[in-house]
Each structure stands twice: as C-alpha cells, then as structure tokens.
Amino acid sequence: NAGVMQNPRHLVRRRGQEARLRCSPMKGHSHVYWYRQLPEEGLKFMVYLQKENIIDESGMPKERFSAEFPKEGPSILRIQQVVRGDSAAYFCASSPGTGGQPYEQYFGPGTRLTVT
Amino acid sequence: GENVEQHPSTLSVQEGDSAVIKCTYSDSASNYFPWYKQELGKRPQLIIDIRSNVGEKKDQRIAVTLNKTAKHFSLHITETQPEDSAVYFCAAVSSGSARQLTFGSGTQLTVLP
C-alpha cells in the first residue's frame, strides 16, 4: 500500500524559472493538501484540493503560485518566476475525507526547492 | 482563524525520563488534534491524535491529553529513548474549516543517552 508520493524530491531552479511539484495521494484518498516548511520553521498550510476542485487556497500567495488536482493524474503545485524566498520544503498530505478517519492527514516525503 | 502555540521550543531529557510538550489553541470549534514527529530531512509522521469528545488517549509510551475548557492539549512520552529525538509538532483542525492543519512551531526533543 503505497503512501503519499511526491516528485521530484529535490529541485533546483534559477530565479525567474518555473517550478512544478507533483503529488500522488495515498490509494483511496481523495483530499490533497499542500504545506510549505521554511528552514527551521513549522509547516504552513497553502491549499486544499479535491479532484478537479480547489476547496481552500487561503494560504497561497496571491501571485505566481497555483495548484490543481485533475481528474486523472497527480496534484500539481506550480510556482512561476521563482525567487530566492521560495526556497523551502513543500509537503503534500492526503486524507480520505470521509469514513471513520476523515481528518487524518498523511504526508509525502516532500520536495526541497532551492532557488539559486 | 486558528492559532496554535507550542512550548517549549527545545527540550532535553535523559534517556528513560518522561517528556511533556504543551500546546494551546484559539478556536473553540477545533475538534481534532494530531501530533507529528519529524526527523531531520524526513516527512512529518502522524504519531497520535485525539478528538474533542475524548480527554485522553494512549498508545504504548505515548499519550495525549486534551482540556477543551482551557483549550490546551499535551503530548506525553514516557521511558524516552534516543530514537525519540526529533522535532514534534502539534496541530489543530477546526470543524468549521476546510480541514487544513494549523501547526504549532515545533519542539526539538533531544534524548540524551
């Protein structure tokens, strides 16, 4: 039973380039969350998605950041025109959303983005 | 929105001693409180959670208590071992929210052999 998968694990981008981060939820999970963790800090919520729907993006920066969770394929977090301040670990989590444990969130291994 | 405060930020204990980490939350509608353990460079791992209709939950050496009136919850680790060394995060989910986790700032636990 594969857990939450993220790729790439490490991503290096120059300032101004685009970063694309992918997340495949656990089997049977239909809810995906993205969190950002700056060095030596806690995790901050960015966006919550279900298939083909953005439920809550209140934690997303207004510009340059977007997320999607298409009907087929992984969820994608896209950062356009990256700046050095975007350097962080980006974690995806998934939850079943319904059933006995709807709130439990399981995290992927993260993508460590470095902007040079 | 929800605000979660966690303390202490660092905690050192001798192997075999107990460790306690405390968190407070602001939103009285919060009803789910998980704890995550994160080792350096690794993913956060869910180690225990508690719901607002329960005051205490235990799983082997780990226990969590919840005081809804005071809006605080605590993680207790007994008989600590060096492999317990990690950063521990508390979190809260509000029933009125879209279920996103609001995290505390983390506690670096070091268990000294």
Are B108 and B13 spatial neighbours (Cβ–Cβ below 8 Å)?
no
Closest residue in chain A to residue B95, using alpha carbons only: A103
Among the partner-chain residues A31, A59, A110, the one whose CB lies closest to the CB of B43 is: A110
Residues in chain A within 8 Å Cβ distance of B34:
103-105
Phi and psi torsions of B83, nearest 5°: -75, -5
Residue in A with minimal Cα distance to B46? A106
Name residue, tokens 């902007």: A115
Chain B segment 20-79 residues within 8 A of A by beta carbon are 32, 34, 36, 42-46, 49
pLDDT for B95 equals 66
- Average pLDDT value for chain A: 92
* pLDDT digits (tens), chain B, 113 positions: 789 999 999 999 999 999 999 999 998 888 899 999 999 999 999 999 998 888 999 999 999 999 999 999 999 999 999 999 999 999 998 766 567 899 999 999 999 99
pLDDT digits (tens, 9 = 90+) for A25-42: 999 888 999 999 998 788
Query: CA–CA separation, A47 vs A115, rounded Å?
Result: 21
CB contact under 8 A, B100 and A45: yes
